[in-house]
Copies of this chain bind each other. A is one copy, B any other.
Amino acid sequence: MSVPLARLIRQMLLMVLLVLGCSVIPCNAALAQADPLPSWNDGAAKEAIVGFVARVTKQGTADFVPPAERIATFDNDGTLWTEQPFYFQLAFALDRVKAMAPDHPDWKTRQPFKALLEKDTSALAASGEKGLLQIMAATHAGMTTDAFASAVRDWLATARHPRFNRPYDSLVYQPMLELLAYLRANGFKTFVVSGGGIEFMRPWMERVYGVPPEQVVGSSGVVKFQIGAGGKPDLMKEAKIEFIDDGPGKPVGINRFIGRRPIFAFGNSDGDLQMLQWTVAGAGARFAGIVHHTDGIREYAYDRQSRIGKLDKALDAAAAGGWTVVDMKQDWKTVFPPLATSGAAMEAKP
């Protein structure tokens, strides 16, 4: 009991300081006016978000949801960070093939690696899904989970996006960072539920989104426990797919990892349709949101005809179900955070 008391006293001191501070400047007024979503333009999308949060957090009303049940799930590619001109995880895999090539002399003559190293796009395309799986197996397996996490961190620290010439983890959406923080400030627990690889996402999402590893749900490969060199236990990544957290896999992944139905979900493509359907089918107040990529100048413009991130059925479902569609061009004041404050400056708030 003495430890909680010490914490209580520390917190109390802090709060007294805060309130004293408020008596000097007109704090209440300032705070009442402060906008928790400053990068969002006023409009239907922002109103829907703020209105929903107000409804479910107001005690004693029919829509009130206890904090433990305030589960919010977010797709990642195209919802929290950019997914063009190709999924960033694929860029990682391709860069990794180049980096690993000196240790694999056979790749010079072996497809699909030869095509990749020679930038022979038609031969690469010809290798199809089988080729892609071979590339993923070569770059995502045969090492420990710790070694893979290091490889992801090293790549993020050095690789640059071909169009924006910025680190990939700085191409996150500032309005969505604000939304994550706003939900957490209102007692929500924020989860990422992505088709991307779970081991690819966890090494950086706590730093960038404030979402800790245990709140990241994704696709996964088989991992095996082994007693390695010197009697040290290891977890080895194998070249075998275990779970695809996409489409109908998303509600399954949510059930498996979270075990509770979200009351709030955000996606941007048809791969998010079932997650959004599953979310709104629950009893009580529910929120379903879609990021619509309409801004070819500041980001990319795509939906129904897109090669990746196709938005067709989900857009129809949104119209039918009254879901919130965020028009990136209209609804967002800024798209990316200023470079200096992205990445390391986003402190983790689990």
Spell out A's residues near B (CB within 8 Å): 1-5, 8-9, 11-12, 15-16, 18-19, 27-28, 31-32, 34, 36, 57, 68, 71, 145, 185-186, 189, 191, 198, 202, 206, 212-216, 220, 223-225, 227, 232-233, 235, 248-249, 251-252, 255-260, 274, 277-278, 281, 348, 350
Question: Which of B2, B12, B259 interacts with A198 by CB under 8 Å?
Answer: B259
Name A's interface SS.
helix
17 contacts between A and B (CB under 8 A): A1-B36, A2-B32, A3-B36, A3-B57, A4-B185, A8-B15, A12-B16, A15-B15, A145-B255, A198-B256, A198-B259, A213-B258, A213-B259, A214-B214, A214-B260, A225-B252, A227-B277
Q: Does B34 lie within 8 Å of A223, measured CB to CB?
A: no
Q: Does B251 lie within 8 Å of A225, measured CB to CB?
A: yes
Question: Which of B1, B32, B220, B233 interacts with A256 by CB under 8 Å?
Answer: B220
Number of copies: 2
CA A189 – CA B8 in complex, angstroms?
A: 19
Task: Indicate whether A3 sits within 8 Å of B185 (C-beta atoms), given known contacts A233-B278, A235-B252, A252-B224.
Answer: yes
CA A321 – CA B254 in complex, angstroms?
A: 37
Residue of B nearest to A13 (CB): B15
Q: Which residues of B contact A258 (CB under 8 A)?
A: 213-214
Residue of B nearest to A217 (CB): B257
Residue of B nearest to A186 (CB): B3
CB A146 to nearest CB in B, in angstroms, measures 9
9 smallest A-B Cβ distances: which pairs? A213-B259, A1-B34, A225-B248, A12-B15, A1-B31, A202-B259, A214-B258, A225-B251, A233-B277
Q: Which residues of B contact A34 (CB under 8 A)?
A: 1-2
Q: Which residues of B contact A4 (CB under 8 A)?
A: 185
Q: Which residues of B contact A32 (CB under 8 A)?
A: 2
